[in-house]
């Protein structure tokens, strides 16, 4: 690096870091300052406080951009782990952060989504991506081991996996949600490997996720004090009932469709056999209660259209897997079906 390049490089770092400090300070001042338009208008030249609050997001953007510059120079700071955290905190909430908005009173007329912040954010993301080692192990969602509930360790089999319920950085929800995981397979949000892992989990944890009536809407259920806090002591959502771990026959068709797409029709057949042994006798209820789904829901309505439709669609999909194309995206329709109907196929 020549002397001229080195000077320019060092000056750039000073400017970026200085802007970062000012923006952080701006946020601190504004959040501890009561706006007084009358005082400001009387002598605006003497006002040393910022015109509008600047989020610490721009401060972080500036620092990562600076790190990006140093990591490609002989003066590397070795901050790959810092960028990994940045990638987790920002890239995985990209839409939220691009929704940064100046909601306070802005004398300069800067409202909504300032281009400076958006452009700086984009540049910071590119710098962070360039500094990430592609072959390095990254704690993608920055999960703290102590935050993982104890039940997860007993629930997870040797083979299998699933998409957890919520990956919000403020609150991770590790529960299993049947609807989301089945749709993830059908929409190809899940990779082929992930789709197979979800199927492996259902087979390995059949009693917990299917039980005596398919299919558990979520697992596990909220109980005791947790149930009181989260549901507000809702009598309909007691443990293993309704939306709190209840079993819903309507989900049968989604499970069947996911099974067909992953080439695992035997799972669907087993679930349909369970449903057939109960649904007609129980007058097609809306949902079932109990840890195994053994009891008709305490407030379940009978002869529910979607319970009947879910069963019928599941049967039709299993009898003719080509029907899966009706609910596939255009690019998925071009794929050769994993299963073809045959007279000898009995599952």
Backbone angles phi, psi at 127, to 5 degrees: -65, -45
Contact, 245 vs 216, CB < 8 A? Answer: yes
Q: What is the pLDDT of residue 166?
A: 86
Q: 52 in a domain, yes or no?
A: no
Q: Pairing mode, if any, of strands 288-289 and 218-219?
A: unpaired
Backbone angles phi, psi at 241, to 5 degrees: -145, 150
Task: Read off the pLDDT of residues 245-282 as tens digits, 9 standing for 90 and up.
Answer: 999 999 999 999 999 999 999 999 999 999 999 999 99
Q: 340 in a domain, yes or no?
A: no
Q: 160 in a domain, yes or no?
A: yes
Q: 164 in a domain, yes or no?
A: yes
Q: 65 in a domain, yes or no?
A: no
Q: What is the pLDDT of residue 123?
A: 81
Distance CA 52, CA 9 (A): 30
Q: How many domains does the chain have?
A: 1
Q: 34 in a domain, yes or no?
A: no
Q: What is the pLDDT of residue 316?
A: 96
pLDDT in tens, the chain (347 residues): 454 444 344 444 444 444 443 343 333 333 333 444 454 444 444 344 444 444 455 555 565 665 565 554 433 444 444 444 444 444 444 433 444 444 444 445 555 667 777 787 788 778 777 777 665 566 766 777 888 899 999 999 999 999 999 877 667 899 999 999 999 999 999 999 999 999 999 999 999 999 999 999 999 999 988 888 888 888 889 999 999 999 999 999 999 999 999 999 999 999 999 999 999 999 999 999 999 999 999 999 999 999 999 999 999 999 999 999 888 776 676 655 454 443 334 54
Q: What is the pLDDT of residue 241?
A: 95
> With left for phi above 0 and alpha for psi between -120 and 50, is residue 148 left, alpha or beta?
beta
Which residues are within 8 A (CB) of 74 and not within 5 positions of it... i.e. 6 or more apart? 1
Task: Read off the pLDDT of residues 118-134 as tens digits, 9 standing for 90 and up.
Answer: 787 788 778 777 777 66
The number of residues making up the chain comes to: 347
Q: 208 in a domain, yes or no?
A: yes
**Residue 198: which domain range?**
82-128+147-331
Q: What is the pLDDT of residue 129?
A: 77
Which residues are within 8 A (CB) of 55 and not within 5 positions of it... i.e. 6 or more apart? 27, 100, 117
Q: 339 in a domain, yes or no?
A: no
């Amino acid at each position: 690096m020549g002397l001229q390049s080195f000077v320019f490089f060092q000056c750039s770092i000073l400017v970026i870091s200085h802007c970062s400090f000012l923006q952080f300070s701006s946020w601190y001042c504004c959040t501890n300052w009561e706006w007084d338009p009358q005082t400001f208008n009387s002598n605006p030249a003497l006002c040393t406080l910022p015109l509008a609050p600047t989020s610490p997001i721009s401060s972080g953007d500036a620092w990562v951009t600076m790190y990006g510059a140093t990591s490609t120079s002989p003066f590397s700071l070795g901050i790959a782990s810092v960028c990994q955290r940045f990638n987790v905190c920002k890239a995985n909430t990209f839409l939220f952060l691009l929704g940064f908005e100046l909601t306070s009173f802005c004398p300069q007329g800067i409202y909504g989504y300032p281009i400076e912040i958006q452009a700086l954010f984009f540049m910071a993301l590119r710098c962070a991506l360039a500094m990430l080692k592609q072959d390095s192990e990254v704690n993608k969602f920055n999960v703290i081991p102590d935050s993982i509930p104890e039940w997860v360790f007993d629930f997870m089999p040797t083979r299998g996996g699933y998409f957890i319920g919520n990956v919000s950085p403020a609150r991770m929800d590790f529960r299993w949600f049947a609807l989301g995981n089945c749709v993830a397979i059908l929409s190809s949000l899940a990779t082929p490997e992930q789709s197979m892992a979800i199927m492996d989990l259902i087979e390995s944890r059949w009693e917990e996720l299917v039980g005596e009536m398919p299919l558990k809407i979520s697992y596990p259920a909220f109980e005791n004090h947790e149930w009181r806090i989260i549901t507000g002591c809702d009598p309909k959502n007691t443990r293993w009932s309704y939306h709190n771990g209840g079993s819903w026959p309507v989900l049968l068709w989604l499970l069947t469709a996911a099974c067909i797409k992953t080439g695992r029709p035997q799972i669907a057949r087993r679930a349909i056999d369970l449903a057939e042994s109960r649904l007609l006798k129980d007058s097609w209820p809306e949902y079932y209660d109990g840890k195994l789904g053994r009891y008709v829901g305490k407030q379940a309505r009978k002869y529910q259209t979607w319970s009947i439709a879910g069963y019928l669609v599941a049967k039709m999909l299993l009898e003719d897997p080509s029907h899966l194309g009706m609910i596939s995206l255009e690019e998925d329709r071009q794929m050769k079906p994993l299963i073809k109907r045959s007279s000898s196929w009995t599952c």
